[in-house]
Structure 1
Amino acid sequence: MKDFDGKIALVTGTTGIGLATARRLAAGGAAIIACGIDRAANAAMTAELDSSGAGALVMAVDVSVPDQVRDAIAAGVERFGGLDIIVNSAAVHPYGTAVSTDFDTWNQAMSVNVGSIYLTAHFGIPEMMKRGG
C-alpha cells in the first residue's frame, strides 16, 4: 500500500513546488486536482501524470478568483469523489519596493499568494469534512 492510496489532493500551481508536490502525491497513490494559470505547464503536468497512470484533473484556474476555485474543487470532487488534501503552492512574484510597486500589482500578489489560501480552505474544507478530514 502506498502512503496516499485513496486520497484526493488539490494542488495549486502547476510549476515548481506545485509540480513537485503533485508528482510526489501521485507517486504515493493520490488522485490529483491541479489548478494553474500557465496553460503550457498545465498540459505538461497532465501529460506527465497521465503517462504515470495517476488520476489527474489539471485545470486552467486563476486561484485569486472565487468562482474559478469553487468550480475547480467541484469538478475534482465530481470526478474523484471527494477531497482529502489541500496544497497551496500557487504564487506570483512581483519584485519591487513599496515605492516602486503599483497598488494593482501588490493587490494581485496578495490575492494570489494569500487570498487563494482562504479560497481553497473556504471551498475545500467542507469537502474534506465530508470524508472525515
Structure 2
Amino acid sequence: MTPVAGRVAEGAALKWRVSLPEAADVDLGTAFAAVPVFGPELSTKDVGPAWLEDATDASPDPERPLSKVDGLYLRVDVPAGAPGTDVTVRSWTAPCWTPRNGVRHTGGAGRPVSSRGSP
C-alpha cells in the first residue's frame, strides 16, 4: 500500500494504492486500521461527518485524532482479476483544518503508510 499523493489540499481526497504482485485469482478483502502519526494527526473534524458515521457510527464530537476512534478501519476490496485497487478518504473543508495533519494506517504486512494534508 503506497500513497498516491503524499500531500493533498483541504477538501481533496487522500488516496492510497494497494498493489498485488499479480492479479487476484479470487475476490480479496482486508481492512487497514488508523494508527497514530508522528506529528499533527487528522481528526474527526478533518473528514466528512457522514463518512465518519458510515465508517464507524462515531460522531465527530468530541474532536479527537482518527487513530483514537474505536472501530475505524479502511475496508479494501480487490476484485478477482484486478492487480490492486485504490483506497480513498475525502478530507473535509472546515475552519479547524490544520495544513499538515496526517493519517497513518497499518494492514496486510503491518507496515505503517502515511499521507498528509497540505495548504
Q: Answer 1 or 2: which has greater helix percent.
A: 1
TM-score (norm 2): 0.31
Pair member with larger Rg: 1
Higher relative contact order (CA 8 A, sep 6+): 2
Q: Answer 1 or 2: which has greater strand percent.
A: 2
TM-score (norm 1): 0.29
